[in-house]
Amino acid sequence: MPSLKKVTKTGNEVFAEAMRQINPDVVAAYPITPATEIVQIFSQFVADGLVKTEYIAVESEHSAMSACIGSSAAGARTMTGTSAQGLALMWEMLYIAAGLKLPIIMAVVNRALSAPINIHCDHSDTMGARDSGWIQIYSENVQEAYDNLIQAVRIAEHPDVRLPVMATTDGFILSHCLEVAEILNDSDVQSFVGIPPERPTVLDFDKPITLGALDLQDYYFEHRRQIAEAMTRSIKVINDIADKYAKLSGRKYEFFEKYQLDDAEYAIVLIGSTAGTAKDVVDKLRSQGKKVGLLKIRVFRPFDYMKVRQTLENIKVIGVMDRADGLNAYCGPLYTEICTSLYESEKKPALANYIYGLGGREVKEQDIETIFDDLFKIGKEGKTVTTKYIGVR
């Protein structure tokens, strides 16, 4: 086991630290709250000569992703960071990064989208990017954020995948809060990420390529299909890389984390930092003899429907907590995925959806207890409920 160093850092600081250790060829980024610190800290690393990186201080997030696309197309290991409106401004280019099969790695700090303007946490920004062809890995805490960003490099660049990856933290809750995390040695991170596997680039003059060609009715569909297949193949790659990372760090990550779930009758499914609070509630209810558990989704894209079904189908009642609203007059985005996962199951647990924490609205243990109470009631009365909003006036 390589030596590890315990540090006290914020989510933004560990993202920047991971970027320093990854030492990418190019970073192109633009400031945005609450992700600004990542690029500020990283700029200092560049200014102090601690990295070999060429840093492009672009004039917008649209140009940030455009420059990342150019850089990655040239074969450079390329990273960026953003949040909320910045991610929204990148929208067009997110699809193009994935469509051109470019392994760009992005640190995202989850924040609510305008309007009304708000700088605090929810998942509406990245949920909107869920169909863009980017792999999405969410973090419960600062440690996971660090570990996820390092693994993201190998996942993105794997020849079976070659898709961009975003690793995220919850805005302010993780980005600005100090936590203790274990940091790997620089040399271990360097040998883990290794030299990027070869791929065609626009700096190859012996075999010049035309990248971003016009695809009409005769080829577009096949090329989009290739992206879908890469996303499917990435499931195995993500697990393989998690195994390799476990050997290095002692921390093993799955697509999702089960907490007290094996014999649970009532469970909550959620994404991100609220898992920490939910685990405390599960412990409390368990001590009262209640069979409750938690499923924390870590990798949202690709979504491992089969595994989620196998994991959840024996639960009696499931409450899905969404930190983003689908605005579809029905439910949030995570609920849709969980519902889809369970459709093929003969057992079909009862499901309920809870929208919470929009715009950084605090979620307390009491809120999660209320949800469990609701699940108990559904279990008793056998009635499903429509989507409920938690903690809203």
Partner 1 sequence: MPSIKELAKRKEKFVSGHRLCPGCGAGVVARLVMNAIDKPVVVGCATGCLEVSSTIFPYSSWDTPFIHSAFENAAATVSGVETAYRSLKKQGKIDKDVVFVAFGGDGGTYDIGLQSLSGAAERGHKMLYVCYNNQAYMNTGIQRSSATPKGASTTTSPAGKVIPGKIQFSKDIMGIMIAHNIPYAAQTIPGRWNDITNKVEKAINTDGFSFINVLSPCRLGWPHKPEIAMEITRLAVETCFWPLYEVIDGKYKLNYKPKEKKPIIEWLKIQGRFAHLLKPGNEKIIEGIQQEVDRRWENLLKKCESSV
| The two structure tokens encoding residue 64 | 């940030």
Considering only the stretches 61-69, 116-124, 145-153, 243-251, report the one whose residues sit in contact with partner 1 under the rule CB under 8 A. Answer: 61-69
Q: Taking CB under 8 A as the criterion, which residues in 349-388 touch partner 1? A: none
3-state secondary structure of 337: helix
Residue of 46, 74, 119, 385 interacting with partner 1 (CB under 8 A): 74
Measure the CA–CA gap between 8 and 38, rounded to whole angstroms: 16
Measure the CA–CA gap between 336 and 324, rounded to whole angstroms: 12
Cβ contacts of 39 within 8 Å, gap of 6 or more: 16, 27, 29, 30, 31, 81
Nearer to partner 1 by Cβ, of 69 and 324: the residue is: 69
Q: Please count the CA atoms within 13 angstroms of the CA of 254 that sit on its side-chain side.
A: 11
Nearer to partner 1 by Cβ, of 38 and 69: the residue is: 69
Nearest one of 149, 113, 153 to 32, comparing CA atoms: 113
Sign of CA dihedral 285, 297, 312, 357: positive
Nearer to partner 1 by Cβ, of 201 and 277: the residue is: 201
Q: How far is the CB of 195 from partner 1 (least distance, A)?
A: 10
* φ and ψ at residue 12, rounded to 5 degrees: -65, -40
Does 217 bind partner 1 (CB under 8 A)? Our answer is no
Considering only the stretches 14-22, 42-50, 60-68, 363-371, report the one whose residues sit in contact with partner 1 under the rule CB under 8 A. Answer: 60-68
Does 230 bind partner 1 (CB under 8 A)? Our answer is no
Nearest one of 58, 16, 10 to 41, comparing CA atoms: 16
Q: How far is the CB of 25 from partner 1 (least distance, A)?
A: 4
Does 58 bind partner 1 (CB under 8 A)? Our answer is yes
Does 226 bind partner 1 (CB under 8 A)? Our answer is no
Nearer to partner 1 by Cβ, of 63 and 277: the residue is: 63
Does 221 bind partner 1 (CB under 8 A)? Our answer is no
Q: Write the interaction track for partner 1 spanning residues 197-216; mark x where CB under 8 A is met and - where it is not.
A: ----xxxxx--xxxxxxxxx
* φ and ψ at residue 105, rounded to 5 degrees: -115, 130
Nearest one of 183, 134, 126, 172 to 322, comparing CA atoms: 126
Does 283 bind partner 1 (CB under 8 A)? Our answer is no
Q: Taking CB under 8 A as the criterion, which residues in 96-115 touch partner 1? A: 96, 100
Nearer to partner 1 by Cβ, of 57 and 178: the residue is: 57
Pairing of β 4-9 and β 179-184: antiparallel
Contact residues: partner 1, CB under 8 A: 25-26, 28, 52-54, 56-60, 62-63, 66-76, 78, 92-93, 96, 100, 201-205, 208-216, 219
